[in-house]
């Protein structure tokens, strides 16, 4: 038996304001920008920086967040230049 789909089961419009807002949300890493930049200047990689953040700075975010943040910083993306 096939079930009909209700209006609540339809995928959201990707151009809807809520979807756009989540695309541009601030990173949990932003408050630690100075520490991360200093660590990068010392040759630390994203995994080591994440571990330092957790152990020494009280960071509660995931490694993937730090990895994305470091990638953006290293890449010199428009995100870094706009801050």
CA dist., res. 29 & res. 36, Å (int): 8
Whether pLDDT at 5 is above 60 = no
| Domain-wise residue ranges, the chain | 28-82
Q: What is the pLDDT of residues 53-67, one digit of tens each?
A: 999 999 999 999 999
Residues 64-80: what's their mean pLDDT?
Answer: 81
pLDDT in tens, 14-56: 555 554 444 556 899 999 999 999 999 999 999 999 999 999 9
* Helices (H), ranges, 24-83: 33-41, 46-52, 63-75, 78-82
């Amino acid at each position: 038996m096939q079930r009909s789909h209700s209006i609540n089961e339809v995928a959201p419009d990707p151009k809807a304001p809520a979807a756009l807002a989540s695309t541009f949300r601030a990173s949990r890493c932003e408050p630690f920008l100075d520490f991360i930049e200093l660590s990068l200047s010392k040759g630390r990689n994203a995994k080591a920086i994440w571990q330092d953040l957790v152990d020494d700075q009280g960071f509660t975010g995931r490694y993937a967040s730090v990895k994305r943040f470091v990638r953006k910083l290293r890449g010199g993306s428009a995100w870094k230049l706009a801050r």
